Every structure is written in structure tokens, then in C-alpha cells.
Amino acid sequence: AAGVIQSPRHLIKEKRETATLKCYPIPRHDTVYWYQQGPGQDPQFLISFYEKMQSDKGSIPDRFSAQQFSDYHSELNMSSLELGDSALYFCASSHIYNEQFFGPGTRLTVL
Amino acid sequence: EDQVTQSPEALRLQEGESSSLNCSYTVSGLRGLFWYRQDPGKGPEFLFTLYSAGEEKEKERLKATLTKKESFLHITAPKPEDSATYLCAVRRGGSNYKLTFGKGTLLTVNP
């Protein structure tokens, strides 16, 4: 069965640089979610999109933005990166309110 | 604010030694309690969704149950490959999409 695809899998950036993370949801899923997981922490919700419209917003910094495109893939843009942004970033997808299926994650390291 | 508390934080079992993990929650209008399994550095893997008190679901050696205040994940005769972090998450009712996670239980099953 098709799963959520995330790219890149690993990303190394310098402080104050910009990063773009991509997510390709499971086919026919209409909702995409972004979560951040720091070392030893539980996943923290950042933002979600339903049918390409922002549907919910969590503790996402103003330096971050995201969107969902016409083909349903989503991108998380992160600017002015800080050391504290180093984490695993997961994308998940679902059919509206049903269970969320997570991708393998992007490990972001900010130096 | 939604709260999810998992216990114990860590559990070490011998192969074949059955046990239970606990997830206590406080949420306004529960619209789903979710169990995930997470291996180190990987995305959470969906296990179960429970919607109402009294509901039970089973999958191989795992059984999840739900009351109005907590959920249990029972592990029967575990094997070393069951070693992972088990995460519990809740979704609030209304137009809320995000999952609020607990900090997880790290399960280690020794051969």
C-alpha cells in the first residue's frame, strides 16, 4: 500500500538559512498535517490543510509557513532557522477526521 | 487544554511476560483516541482508533480498550520485536484536526 512520502529525509542547514520540506500524501487522502518532534519529545502539531485550505493551526512559529498545492502535496517553509529548530518533522495524511498515517520524517539539523 | 498522560514512562519485560500500558486523557468532546507505535528515528505507525467508552480493538498480540477517562494497551506474550515507544493521542471534537500526543511509553522486551 502507498505511504506518505517526505523529502528530503535529511537536511543540514546553517543558522539563519531557509529550508523547504515536502510531503506527498497517500492518494485520495484530503487532509495533510505537519508535526515537529524534538529529541525525546512527543510530536507537536504545527499546521494542517483540508482540501488545500488551512484547517487548523498549532504552535507554529511565524518564521514557518506551509501550503498545500493542487496535486495535494504540501510544503513546509522554514526561514531564519535557529538551533532550536533541529528536530524530526513529520507529515501525516488522512481522509478528513480519520486516523492519520505518518511519513518517515525529515531530520533537520541546524548548525 | 487537552492533556494526555502515559504511564509508565518505560517498561522492561521478559519475552512472554504480558503487561498493560496506560493512557489517561482530559479532552473536551473526545472524537477519537489513537494508539501509535514508533521506532527510533521513524514515523509513528498507526495501530488503533477508539471512539467510545467500552470499545475494544485487537491486532495480533495487542489489545486496546477505552473508558471515559483512560485507555489501556494490553500486550500479551510480547516478543522482542514489540520493543518500541507506544504513543497515545487524542482528537477533540468540533472542527479540530490536530492530535495531542502523550509522551509515550518506551517498551523493551528482552529475549
Nearest Cα neighbor of A29 from A103, A110, A92 is A92
pLDDT band at A66 (very low <50, low <70, confident <90, very high): very high
Could you report the per-residue pLDDT of B19-70, keeping only the tens digit for each? 999 999 999 889 999 999 999 999 999 999 999 999 999 999 999 999 999 9
In contact, B102 and B90? CB cutoff 8 Å: no
Which residue of A31, A89, A100, A106 to mutate against B (max B Cβ within 10 Å)? Answer: A100
Q: Is the pLDDT of residue A89 over 90?
A: yes
- Mean pLDDT of all residues in B65-92: 97
Task: Give phi and psi for A30, each to the nearest 5.
Answer: -105, 0
Residues of A in contact with B36 (CB under 8 A): 102
> Is the minimum CB–CB distance between A52 and chain B shorter than 8 Å?
no
* Cα-Cα end-to-end distance for chain A: 37
Is residue B95 predicted with pLDDT exceeding 80?
A: no
Give percent of chain A with pLDDT exceeding 90.
Answer: 91
Question: What is residue B69's DSSP assignment?
Answer: S
Residue of A nearest to B6 (CA): A42
Question: Is residue A29 over pLDDT 90?
Answer: yes
What's the gap in Å between the CA of B44 and the closest CA on chain A? 6
Contacts with B99 from chain A: Cβ below 8 Å: 33, 43, 45, 100
Taking the Cβ of residue A97 and every Cβ of chain B, the question of whether any pair is shorter than 8 Å is answered with yes
Contacts of B45 in chain A (CB under 8 A): 102
- Phi, psi angle pair for A85, to nearest 5°: -80, -10
Number of neighbouring beta carbons within 10 Å of residue B94: 9
Among A48, A99, A103, the residue with its CB nearest the CB of B98 is A48
pLDDT of residue B97 exceeding 90, the answer is: no
CA separation, residue A74 to residues A6, A91, B41, B80, B82 (Å): 10, 9, 22, 36, 32
| Interval A41-47 mean pLDDT | 96
Contact B82, B110 (CB under 8 A): no
Residues of A in contact with B31 (CB under 8 A): 97
Phi, psi of A28 (to 5 degrees): 75, 0
Q: What is the predicted pLDDT for the residue at B1?
A: 84
The residue of chain B with its CA nearest to that of A105 is B43
Q: Note which residues in 38-77 of chain B have CB less than 8 A from chain A.
A: 41-46, 49
Q: Nearest CA of chain B to the CA of A44: how many Å?
A: 7
Give the per-residue pLDDT at B15: 98
Q: Which residues pair with A89 in a beta bridge?
A: A36, A106
Residue range A65-89: mean pLDDT, rounded: 97
> Longest Cα pair distance anywhere in chain A, in angstroms?
39
Exposure class string for B35-72: b at 16+ Cβ within 10 A, else e:
bbbbeeeebbebbbbbeeeeeeeeeeebbbbbeeebbb
Question: What is the per-residue pLDDT for B21?
Answer: 98
